[in-house]
Structures are given as structure tokens and as C-alpha cells.
A and B are shown apart, each in its own frame.
Chain A
Amino acid sequence: MSAHPLIFNERVDKALADPILKKALPLTQDRLRGGRINAAEQLGNVEEWRELASQIRSHTIANLDSYLEELVTNVRKNGGHVHFAATSDDAVEIITGIAKEKNAKSVVKSKSMVSEEVHINKHLEDMGIKVVESDLGEYIIQLANETPSHLIAPAIHKTREQVREMFSKVAGRQLSDETTELTAFAREKLRQEFLQADIGISGCNFAVAESGSVVLVSNEGNARLTTTVPKVHIAMMGMERIVPTWNELDMVVSMLTRSATGQKISVYVTGINSPRQSEDSDGPEEFHLVILDNGRSNILGTAYQEALNCIRCGACLNVCPVYRHIGGHAYGGVYSGPIGAVLTPLLGGYEEWLELPYASSLCGACSEACPVKIPLHDLLIEHRKDEVEMGLTPFSEKMAFKGFGFATSHPSVYETAVKLAHSGMGFLAKDGVISKGPGMLGGWTDVRDLPQPAKQSFREWWKKEGKGRNQ
């Protein structure tokens, strides 16, 4: 993961000042939220489903090495090639190597967050290869020269007007706001690209170990074209995106689509077993599966292991009130929202991602929505704990909490502090209200008033009057 040019606070400021983000994002977020809630209601016993899905994922991750081995054996048996990429650089080397060998001039892609993780587009373009995103949202992002700001709705931060303008520019004529006209244009444009492409690169929603299959979930059909029209198909997967058998696949795909958009099932669910066989009417001549580690195996066996259960549905982003206001780009990493705040520091280190675990009010909406029951907000607390234990927090904060620990474990000290609170903060208060405080308090009073501590605390009242009135 590479550093975003701005530091976290600057990214947040930029996002909060962006009127288009404010307009575009909550609308789509509401739609996706509503979809998930409806789907959950239709299901009825959604908690049982979540529990089962969580067990499936936890079991798979706990036995990841044996399932990976099974997957690899089966992909190879089916005639595919498998490559392990320990790092992002390794993945780039593998894929650019294939492109070189095939003398590729153009690549068409369907949606893949793992490909974003390794910045494959840039590396291919540096070789002079034309790369075209075929997912509508990704295509918009590519035209805007941006990165996705949502796991499943990459262009969630864009308005229809912006899309119209970008498409009109490419079309060389003014297009209208009509969805049908905009998508018709994209379809027509992208079809040409499919026919020219030498290589198709896709992601992998799940790989099924028992049959060595790659499964893609999409609503646009572009994934199908990407994986069948070009001569070579490369699928990129994170090493954790695996299910043991088709039985579990059924369950997790259903949870994915229900949690992502509220659909019972997506328009297309494509299973790819192998390159074209003699009896097949279409399909690529070669199939490559690139399995990326890039820091994931370091998460195994730690307190964060459950983060690997993620099926990238985006539900945690859709319910997150912080994401709602700052959008995906402010997080700075490839993955945004609550799962991004958990995952990014794990994959990229605290040095670069120190603030991310604090970008949450710990409201728990994410953990409640997650279809595989990842305790996201607890994992954010875990990060904070690790940062404290590694000595990464500011000195003044450390001292403040040392004092807090001492006072709260010494009742007489605490009582004195409570007693002094009213007069001690008196110099800041006017008519019982503090509207400008120093230090940490300043963060509070920048936005809101703070009442002056009461003249008589509860404990004093109790001693004087409250207690006596009991019987």
C-alpha cells in the first residue's frame, strides 16, 4: 500500500469540504442500507445465517493452508496455472511477466480490489499496455483518474452529472442524464475494448477449493466477457478468499449479495473451472490464478484473525456514520470504512496508518451489520491498545491516562478531583458554560459548549442530603 499524498487530517478536511461528496454519498449509502435491511427481513432468521456464515469463514481461515493446497491442486488439475505472490511487487512481476510473454497490447479488467492493492493498472500502463476497466463504476473512476471509494460501489462519491460530463467527453457528443443513455454508451464503448483485449484480468469473489473454481459475482455481465473473450484470463485473489465446497459457496454468496445491495442473488454468478476445453464454445486459452498474500498471513494467529473472514460486501461502510461524512478516499488506503480502518494498518503498518483506528466513534453499527460477524469496532480498540503498548501515542495523552488510572483507583484522590472540578474550571466558564477550552478540551469546545461542572457533585449531595432520605 502506498502513502496517500495528504496526511489523514488533511484528507478528512478535504472530504468534509467537498460539496459533491456530501450530495452524492449519503443518497447511495441510504439505498444500500435499505436494501440490506429488506433482505435481512425477508430472510427472517438473519442472525442464524450470520452465525453460520461466520463459522464457515472462521473454519476456512483456521485451515487456510490445507484449503489453499486443495485449491491449487485442483486448479492445476483443471489445466490452470497458479502463482503465489508473497508481496505486491511479486504480483506485479508475475502479471507483467505474463503480459510480456503474450506480447499484450491491451488488457480489459473486471472489478478487483486486489488489483487495486497492487496498482496493477499503473504497472501495465508503464509498459505501454492499454488498460480498460469494464465495470461501470470502475470505468467512471478510471476516466476520473481516481481510486475506488467503496468496496462495491467504487464511484459512490460521483454524481450523475459528473458521470454525464465525463462520458460526453469520451463520446465526443453531449449525452443526457438518462441512466439508459449513459449505460448504453459505456456498453458500446466497452464492447470494442473486449474484442481487442489480449488479456482479461478479473478479481475473485471466492475460490472453491474442492473443484478449483473461481467464482465471480456481478450485476453487469462484464466479468463474464472479461473472463471469456480475451485469450488469456488472469484472476487475482487475496489468499483468504476461499471456501471449502460449493455448499459453503452458496451460503456465502447469498450473504454477500444480500449484505452488499440487498439482492437475493446478483444478476450473474460466474464459476470458472479451467481454460477452454475442447468441447467448450468459448473461453480463454490460458487461465492464471494469482494468489496474493501481501501481509495477510501475518494476521493469522493474531487477535485480528477474524478480519480475514471479510467477504468484502461493503455493509460496514454502508452503515458507518463516519464513512457517510468523509467518504472512502479520506481513509487513504485501498480499503475504506470500518474494515479499511482495521485492515489497512495490519497490511501497511502503524507508521503510515496511525490515525485510522481512531476514525470511529465505536458506535458498533459496522459489527452489527457484518454478515460474517467480524467485531470491527472491537478490533479498532485492539489497534488502539497495540498503539499504546508500542508507545506510539502522544506523551501528553499517556500522562493524562496515567493520571486517570491513578485517580480512579484512589477514591480519595478522585473525590478531591470531583470536588475541585467546579471551581477549577471556573475560570473557563461564563454563566455555567465553557465555550472555549484548552488542550483536548479544545477539540470538544471547537464544536460544542461544555457545561461547567456542577457546584455540588452528586456524591456531595448524597453525603449531605441524599443518604438521609432513604427510609
Chain B
Amino acid sequence: MKVSLFITCLADVFYPKVGMNVVEVLRSYGVEVDFPQDQTCCGQPAFNSGYHKEARESARQLIKAFADSPMVVTPSGSCASMIRHYYPDLFKDEPEWKERAIELADKTYEFSEFLVHVLKVEDIEAKFPAHATYHHSCHMSRGLGLKGEPIKLLGQVEDLEMEDLPYCNDCCGFGGTFAAKMSDISEKMVDEKIKNIETTGADVLIGSDMGCLMNIGGRLRRLGKEVRVMHVAEVLAEGGQK
């Protein structure tokens, strides 16, 4: 099986290790991974801020970059949701591009979604001794309807003890530019999230979106807290090298 990786701008620039881990996990299941170098960003920052002309420019580039890919896998629920839900609408006045947008939307998968629904992985071979909890990012759980998938994968990891996160449906306060634009409100939201994480007693916070994890992780660091923040792919890859 062949897939193309859409790394996302955040992981490309700030968290390349997540990308490497995605590649590693996919290859361990015999998937052939390529990385079209012409990919940039899905355009969500512009789209959510109302700059739809600019978002279309990014979107066209991404559509072109993955035109020849049979499937696209991305380690971000949010970017996958951008492509799946908003790309077709973004080109509602350009039928040709709309068709191409739908084609990309149909073949794009979030990482856990791909493992569970396409590869039908039932036998994660990983051991990760830790006490952890999972953050359901909004665009992944609400936008894509993916809640059980990462939990199912993590549930198969040996020695990984998962705790339910109270108020797990509440946003962490990231929201892209919201975190900077309305930083005081965002601060209260992330602090409440951290309070809830702390009540679980977890040492590791796992998630599927580096945006949220950058927000929560950055706040944890600012507050001098020790909780480690990881992407699902990192847990599977690190645990796989047991």
C-alpha cells in the first residue's frame, strides 16, 4: 500500500519528530510512504481568520501537491477536517477545483483513522509504561467524528495506563489565532484543561493535534509542570522500539 504524508506546517517546522514517527509506524505495517515536496500548509489559519482568498491559494497548492497520491495521511485531526469539510465549500464557485477538492477530501485520512479504518490494525506491538490521559481535539472529535480510534490504538499499548480526562469535550483554548488574539480568554481555557489533566494524575498527555498540544504543552512549561505531551504517533513509535 502506498500513501503520501501530509506533514502539516506545525509538525514540519516545530515537531519533525512526530512526522518521523508517523513514517516509522506506517512503514512497520508495510506501508510505502512518500512525501511530495510541493506541499505547504492546508490554509486553515487564513480560512479561520476570514481570509478565504488566501486560503484558496494554499488549498490549490495542496490539491496539486497530492494530485497523484492514492491516499494521504496526516498527523492532525484539525488539518484533515479542514480538507474534508471546508475545501469543497471553499471552491463552490469553481467547479473544476471543487471536484479536485472533493477528490483530495475523499482520500485524506487522519493518522489514527488510517490505522484503525484502513489498515485495520488490531495488534499494536508497543510497550510504553506510563500513566496517561488523552486530549480529544475539537476538530478531530467533532469535525471528523473520531473519538474512539486513538483510544483504541492506545488501549493496545502494553503497560500504558489510560485515565479518562474530565470535561474531555471542552476546547483547550488553542483555536489557531484565537490563542494569540484573545490570549486572556484562551489562558483561562487552557488553565482549566490543565487542572483537569492534573486531576487524572497522568504523567503524559497524549493527543492527535500538535496545535492543541503546543498550546497545552507551552502552558504546562510556563507553569513549570512536569506533564509530558506527546502525539499518538510518538507513543506508538517510541513504544514500538521496546
Residue of A322, A384, A418 near B185 (CB, 8 A) is A322
| Bound CA span A466–B178, Å | 34
Q: Which of A392-407 contact B (CB under 8 A)?
A: 393, 397, 401-402, 404-407
Q: How far apart are A171's CB and chain B's nearest CB, in angstroms? A: 36
| Bound CA span A5–B169, Å | 34
* B180 with A441: CB separation less than 8 A: yes
Query: Inside 8 A of A363's CB, which chain B residues have their CB?
Result: 138, 142, 170-171, 175
**Contact status of A405 and B176, CB under 8 A, knowing A12-B184, A321-B171:** no
**Contact status of A12 and B54, CB under 8 A, knowing A453-B13, A458-B16:** no
Contact stretch, chosen from A232-240, A254-262, A265-273, A442-450: A442-450
**Contact status of A362 and B54, CB under 8 A, knowing A443-B180, A470-B27:** no
Q: Which of B30-87 contact A (CB under 8 A)?
A: 32-35, 37-41, 43, 45-55, 57-58, 60-61, 65
Residue of B15, B17, B51 near A405 (CB, 8 A) is B51
Closest to A402 in B: B54
Q: How far apart are B12's CB and chain A's nearest CB, in angstroms? A: 5
Tell yes or no: A440 within 8 A of B by CB: yes
Interface residues on B, range: 35 or more
| Bound CA span A444–B19, Å | 24
Tell yes or no: A103 within 8 A of B by CB: no
| Bound CA span A368–B177, Å | 22
What is the number of residues of chain A that contact chain B, defined by CB distance less than 8 Å?
A: 69
| Bound CA span A458–B7, Å | 8
Tell yes or no: B126 within 8 A of A by CB: no
Tell yes or no: A381 within 8 A of B by CB: yes
Query: Inside 8 A of B124's CB, which chain A residues have their CB?
Result: none
* B138 with A364: CB separation less than 8 A: yes
* B23 with A466: CB separation less than 8 A: yes
Q: How far apart are A58's CB and chain B's nearest CB, in angstroms? A: 18
| Bound CA span A404–B61, Å | 12
**Contact status of A454 and B169, CB under 8 A, knowing A325-B188, A408-B40:** no
Tell yes or no: A467 within 8 A of B by CB: yes
Q: How far apart are A246's CB and chain B's nearest CB, in angstroms? A: 34
| Bound CA span A16–B188, Å | 8
**Contact status of A405 and B23, CB under 8 A, knowing A360-B178, A449-B221:** no
Query: Inside 8 A of B178's CB, which chain A residues have their CB?
Result: 358, 360-362
* A456 with B57: CB separation less than 8 A: no
| Bound CA span A319–B7, Å | 32
Closest to A330 in B: B185
Q: How far apart are B70's CB and chain A's nearest CB, in angstroms? A: 15
* B53 with A458: CB separation less than 8 A: no
Residue of A16, A387, A411, A418 near B13 (CB, 8 A) is A418
Residue among A385, A414, A447, A462 with most chain B CB within 10 A: A447
Query: Inside 8 A of B139's CB, which chain A residues have their CB?
Result: 364
| Bound CA span A358–B182, Å | 8
Residue of A442, A443, A449, A466 near B20 (CB, 8 A) is A466
* B12 with A401: CB separation less than 8 A: no
Query: Inside 8 A of B171's CB, which chain A residues have their CB?
Result: 321, 361, 363, 365
| Bound CA span A325–B179, Å | 14
Q: How far apart are A391's CB and chain B's nearest CB, in angstroms? A: 12
Query: Inside 8 A of A421's CB, which chain B residues have their CB?
Result: 13
Closest to A421 in B: B13
Q: How far apart are B226's CB and chain A's nearest CB, in angstroms? A: 14
* A388 with B13: CB separation less than 8 A: no
Query: Inside 8 A of B13's CB, which chain A residues have their CB?
Result: 418, 421, 453-454, 457
| Bound CA span A468–B184, Å | 46
Residue of A319, A322, A409, A443 near B58 (CB, 8 A) is A409
Tell yes or no: B91 within 8 A of A by CB: no
Tell yes or no: A386 within 8 A of B by CB: yes
Q: Which of B107-159 contact A (CB under 8 A)?
A: 138-139, 142-143
Tell yes or no: B218 within 8 A of A by CB: yes
* A359 with B182: CB separation less than 8 A: yes
| Bound CA span A295–B158, Å | 60
Tell yes or no: A13 within 8 A of B by CB: yes
Q: Which of A198-228 contact B (CB under 8 A)?
A: none
Residue of A362, A367, A440 near B48 (CB, 8 A) is A362
**Contact status of A435 and B222, CB under 8 A, knowing A326-B185, A458-B7:** yes
Given contacts A321-B173, A361-B178, A386-B50, 19 further A-B pairs with CB under 8 A are A321-B171, A322-B189, A325-B185, A361-B176, A361-B186, A381-B48, A383-B50, A397-B49, A405-B57, A409-B40, A409-B57, A409-B60, A411-B38, A433-B221, A447-B183, A447-B187, A454-B13, A459-B12, A462-B19
Measured CB to CB, the residues of B under 8 A from A are 7, 11-17, 19-20, 23, 27, 32-35, 37-41, 43, 45-55, 57-58, 60-61, 65, 138-139, 142-143, 169-171, 173-190, 192, 214-215, 218-219, 221-222
- Chosen A-B contacts, 9 in total, with CB atoms closer than 8 Å, are A16-B188, A364-B143, A365-B142, A408-B41, A409-B58, A443-B180, A447-B190, A449-B219, A457-B13
Q: Which 6 A-B pairs have the closest CB atoms?
A: A361-B175, A384-B50, A405-B54, A448-B218, A443-B180, A363-B171
